[in-house]
Amino acid sequence: MCGIFGIYRNVDAAANTALGLHALQHRGQEAAGIVSFNGERFFAHRDMGLVGEIFGDEEIIRALPGYAAIGHNRYSTSGETVARNTQPLFAHMDFGGFAVAHNGNLTNSMTLRKELVREGRIFQSTSDTEVIIHLIAKSRESTFKDRLIWALKKVIGAYCLVMLIDDKMIAVRDPYGVRPLSLGKLGEAYIVASESVAFDIIGAEFVRDIEPGEMLFIGNDGLESSFPFEKVNKRLDIFEYIYFSRPDSIVDGRSVYEARINIGRKLAEESHVDADVVVSVPDSGNPSAMGYAREANLPFEMGIIRNHYIGRTFIEPTDKIRHLGVKLKHNASRKCLEGKRVVLVDDSIVRGTTSRKIVEMVRAAGAKEIHFRVSSPPKTWPCFYGIDTPDRSKLIAANHTVEEVEKLIGVDSLKYISLDGLYQAMGEKGRNNDAPQFEDSVFTGDYPIPLVDVNGGNHSRDNISLIRETT
Ligand code: 5GP
Ligand code: MG
């Protein structure tokens, strides 16, 4: 996962980009960077850490002059956790400077990279995004636009890109629209961002979502939109609504908050249990727990309090830190829990580490019964399109039945929302198996975009477990 932001024709381009990245911080906390352009030169600053730490200093913003800037929040899903993978990437091309920031994951980058290296191209990072730069560099098409299209027709995968060249900012969303991308406006300036919350923070107006397969060229003469790729059915990752996007964002015309409330309501309808209180695992479980409480007519209590001064524990790279992180992050409140039959709601169970600790904590705080409710179906497949879901051996639901998970995390009952229930909460009749409305591979193993780097794309449900850790 990552967050991307770009602004064109604005006097405070870099400062606004830093603010936009700050609003998108939840999409990646490992590193961040900004590249600006002042009509003559490109300027770059990238570092590991949080946006506020990296760009909090006025000097640093002043060293990024210009009317255009693009930025990136990194959360490594492909490539190592090293500074040289920090985006935006920048290259000197025959046509001038080129900067690019990418959210998503290419599924044929290893294959392309091998070919490119064999041709004598030298890679500076392990990031899949660098493949795009090399493809543009080698393209024999005449205009930049045609070179970009040529390059993007070779890559397969999920991507939202924002790019900067001498006289244009360019935004592209992959044909399936797996990751979100929206267009905003601030006075004369056009803005592109992963989520609409990045417009709110700088007082910009939301214009519209960028469409799957759409390519936007933004320049001094305005906006030019085109659809250079073959049309396919849109497949936004449903996990953006369940977990990843901020609840105050509007993604593809739907309020993430409302979606989560409805998912919680549906979950309550499907998994009724006699209880006294509904408690959320904050913050990710909050809206769905509220929805659950409304539907079940039970009080919603803040039985677990989250310490806000640490990041998303999941993002810490090692299992050891992750274990520690869970304890650092949450505390149960005896006042709300003692003697109660508790419905505990979280958005997802991945490894099961969080849930086990939380359950232990809630028991220790005196809960009489714990009924765990999950606002997504069991996660049984790895994600190849840009969310950091680990290989199958680490996914608790891929290796255990619901009854076993119930025992492993130590609850009185465990229920997940059904797949059709999830789709119904999203306003659909159910999952249309002939033409699924969302990308939901982590729940179904249905990968709409070929996994070329996985056995040349000839993956089957049996060999998928072996390959996740190769990127
Ligand atoms: P577990 O301990 O089961 O591995 O983690 C479950 C928690 O991780 C849930 O509370 C959920 O909010 C969060 N989570 C689920 N998927 C992701 C992900 O892809 N990235 C991050 N950072 N957190 C996740
Ligand atoms: Mg969580």
What is the CA(352)–ligand 1 centre distance, in A? 9
What pLDDT sits at residue 377? Answer: 98
Q: Are 438 and 235 in contact (CB under 8 A)?
A: yes
Active site residue 2: yes
Which residue among 246, 350, 414, 442 has the greatest number of ligand 1 atoms within 8 angstroms of its CB, and so is best to mutate? Answer: 350
Cα–ligand 2 centroid distance for 460 (angstroms): 30
Ligand 1 atom with the smallest distance to the CA of 354 is 2
Which ligand sits closest to the CA of 315? 1
By residue count, the chain amounts to 471
Secondary structure (3-state) at 458: coil
CB of 325 closer than 6 angstroms to any ligand 1 atom: no
What is the architecture of the domain spanning 256-457?
Answer: 3-Layer(aba) Sandwich (3.40)
Ligand nearest to the CA of 26: 1
Minimal CA–CA distance to 131: which of 117, 146, 113? 113
CA atoms within 13 A on the CB side of 314: 22
Helices (DSSP H) in 102-154: which residue ranges? 109-118, 130-138, 144-154
**Tokens of residue 340, six digits:** 């109660």
- Minimum CA distance residue for ligand 1 atom 12: 284
Q: What are phi and psi of 404, to 5 degrees?
A: -65, -45
Residue 422 burial class via C-beta count within 10 angstroms: exposed 0-12, middle 13-18, buried 19 and up: buried
pLDDT at 227: 98
Round to whole Å and give the CA distance between 214 and 160: 10
How far, in Å, from the CA of 394 to the mean position of ligand 2?
Answer: 17
Which atom of ligand 1 is closest in space to residue 389's alpha carbon? 19
Most informative mutation of 348, 392, 393 for ligand 1 (most atoms within 8 A of CB): 348
Q: What is the pLDDT of residue 85?
A: 86
Look at the block and give the residue holding tokens 């969080």: 354
- Determine if ligand 1 sits within 6 Å of the CB of residue 349: yes
Boundaries of CATH 3.60.20.10 in the chain? 3-232
CATH 3.40.50.2020 occupies which residues in the chain? 256-457
Distance 331 CA to ligand 2 centre (A): 13
Ligand 1, atom 11: closest residue by C-alpha: 348
CATH level 2 (architecture), domain 3-232: 4-Layer Sandwich (3.60)
Which of 2, 160, 336, 383 is flagged as catalytic? 2
pLDDT for 470 equals: 35
- Residues (pLDDT < 70) of the chain are 76-80, 311-327, 455-471
